[in-house]
């Protein structure tokens, strides 16, 4: 039995030398791909355009996002992940295959398949974990490992996750906000809130309908959020033209929205994120909390770039909030670091039986 095990280990080590192993931040809004030894090679929207008449996939990533809201009725540009969880298995598999094939430089006809590490939200069910693993194996993975997104973000931010100190990380993505306290290579407390960037966009759309009787699209809402959106008032006042369809007359209309109005639109959702952070602080063991008070709260993910959010969190929690370097890529950089040091960082992976493709 030991001979068989040794033989398998030798084959695996040999395969690992030649395979282009991959780390993927499979996000609700955007997906990023890291290749071992090369760094981040892909950053594209998690969007797939499907012909509903034939079931044929027409475009994936940036090309598919360009089609959103601009296609005939039978062509639908869809996101196969909802709140970081697979909602359409077949489309997710196709999207993963596209990313894997695009990322691989060496096209070995009979070469080893890559090992893949995928970031997932905290608190997903075993069924949801398995659906991600199955999709990756079917898309061409040799082995699939899972890592929780806040853990990956903390590693990407170069926090001392393996030491006996408290690390507080808030990862605000497109579909979920992950709040976690990490110490000794494990997550001590974690909360996953399905309020993040997409919800803020939706808040702006609903606000526009309610306050201005103006129907706007998701792209316009995203532009409002990123251009003039804020979580905390600032001296600099901003405005943006808002174009859409008047719900009463049915005709196109343009008006101006201020940063104060955009902040009011997102206020309720931002408050829920803050409350989640406060609840996590209340549940943190005192010794770890003492560390966090000195080290601060680290913010990652695209949502952390909302103007004034770090200031608001600092004001509400009485602790410094720090946006990590390059917050958009923190998760995939962390997963990539685990990929490069798999033997040393094995403990940070989600405990699950990794899947291998059927023989």
| Domains 13-152+331-348 and 164-195+268-327 equal at CATH topology level | yes
29 is in an annotated binding site: yes
185 is in an annotated binding site: no
For 127-181, the pLDDT digits (tens) are 888 988 999 999 889 999 999 999 999 999 999 999 999 999 999 999 899 999 9
Residue 287 banded pLDDT, cuts 50, 70, 90 = very high
For 98-126, the pLDDT digits (tens) are 888 888 865 544 568 899 999 998 888 88
Taking 90 as the threshold, does the pLDDT of residue 187 lie above it? Answer: yes
225 is in an annotated binding site: yes
**Position with higher pLDDT, 14 vs 277:** 277
Residue 16 banded pLDDT, cuts 50, 70, 90 = low
Q: What is the pLDDT of residue 168?
A: 97
d(CA 103, CA 195) in angstroms, rounded, equals 31
CA distances from 113 to 6, 135, 161, 268 (A): 20, 14, 30, 46
Average pLDDT over residues 239-251: 95
Average pLDDT over residues 274-283: 96
317 is in an annotated binding site: no
279 is in an annotated binding site: no
d(CA 298, CA 154) in angstroms, rounded, equals 8
304 is in an annotated binding site: yes
For 293-310, the pLDDT digits (tens) are 999 999 999 999 999 999
Taking 50 as the threshold, does the pLDDT of residue 359 lie above it? Answer: no
Q: Are 251 and 214 in contact (CB under 8 A)?
A: no
Max Cα–Cα distance, the chain, nearest Å: 78
Contacts of 100 (CB under 8 A, 6+ apart): 22, 114, 116, 139, 140, 141
* Helix runs in the chain, H state only: 2-18, 62-65, 89-103, 126-138, 149-156, 197-207, 218-227, 259-283, 286-295, 309-317, 330-340
123 is in an annotated binding site: no
Q: What is the pLDDT of residue 264?
A: 97
223 is in an annotated binding site: yes
Cα atoms found within 13 Å of the Cα of residue 232, Cβ hemisphere only: 13
Choose the CATH number for 13-152+331-348 among 3.90.1200.10, 3.30.420.40, 3.20.20.70, 1.20.1730.10.
3.30.420.40
186 is in an annotated binding site: no
Q: Are 117 and 23 in contact (CB under 8 A)?
A: yes
222 is in an annotated binding site: yes
**What average pLDDT does the chain have?**
88
Superfamily of domain 164-195+268-327: ATPase, nucleotide binding domain (3.30.420.40)
d(CA 278, CA 316) in angstroms, rounded, equals 8
197-266 sits in which CATH class? alpha beta
d(CA 33, CA 45) in angstroms, rounded, equals 12
d(CA 310, CA 224) in angstroms, rounded, equals 19
Calculate ∠ Cα 60-61-67, nearest 5°: 75
Residue 50 banded pLDDT, cuts 50, 70, 90 = confident
Ranges 121-130, 210-219, 241-250: which has the least confidence? 121-130
- Of the chain, the percentage scoring pLDDT greater than 90 comes to 60
111 is in an annotated binding site: no
174 is in an annotated binding site: yes
For 324-353, the pLDDT digits (tens) are 999 999 999 999 999 999 888 888 998 765
Ranges 18-32, 195-209, 286-300: which has the least confidence? 18-32
Query: Which sequence spans correspond to the domains of the chain?
Result: 13-152+331-348, 164-195+268-327, 197-266
């Amino acid at each position: 039995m030991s001979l068989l095990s040794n033989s398998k280990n030798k084959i695996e080590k040999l395969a690992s030398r030649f395979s282009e192993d991959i780390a993927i931040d499979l996000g609700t809004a955007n997906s990023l791909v890291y290749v071992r030894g090369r760094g981040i090679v892909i950053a594209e929207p998690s969007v797939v355009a499907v012909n509903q008449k034939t079931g044929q996939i027409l475009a994936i990533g940036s090309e598919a996002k360009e089609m959103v809201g601009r296609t005939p009725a039978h062509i639908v540009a869809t996101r196969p992940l909802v709140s970081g969880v697979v909602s359409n298995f077949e489309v997710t598999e196709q999207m993963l295959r596209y990313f894997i094939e695009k990322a691989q430089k060496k096209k070995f006809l009979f070469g080893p398949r890559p090992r893949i590490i995928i970031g997932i939200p905290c608190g997903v069910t075993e069924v949801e974990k398995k659906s991600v693993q199955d999709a990756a194996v079917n898309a061409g993975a040799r082995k699939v490992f899972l890592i929780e997104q806040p853990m990956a973000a903390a590693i990407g931010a170069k926090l001392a996750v393996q030491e006996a100190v408290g690390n507080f990380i808030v990862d605000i993505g497109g579909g979920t906000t992950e709040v976690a306290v990490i110490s000794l290579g494990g997550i001590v407390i974690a909360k996953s809130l399905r309020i993040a960037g997409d919800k803020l966009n939706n808040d702006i759309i609903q606000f526009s309908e309610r306050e201005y009787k103006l129907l706007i699209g998701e792209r316009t809402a995203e532009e409002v959020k990123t251009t003039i959106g804020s979580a905390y008032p600032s001296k600099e006042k901003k405005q943006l033209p808002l174009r859409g369809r008047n719900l009463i007359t049915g005709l196109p209309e343009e008006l101006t929205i201020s940063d104060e109005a955009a902040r009011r639109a997102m206020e309720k959702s931002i408050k829920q994120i803050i409350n989640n952070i406060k609840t996590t602080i209340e549940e943190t063991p005192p010794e770890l909390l003492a560390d966090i008070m000195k080290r601060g709260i680290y913010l990652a993910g695209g949502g952390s770039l909302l103007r004034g959010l770090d200031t608001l969190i600092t004001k509400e929690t009485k602790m410094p909030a720090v946006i990590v370097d390059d917050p958009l890529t923190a998760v995939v950089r962390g997963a990539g670091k685990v990929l490069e040091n798999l033997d040393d960082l094995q403990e940070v992976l989600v405990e699950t039986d990794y899947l291998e493709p059927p023989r």
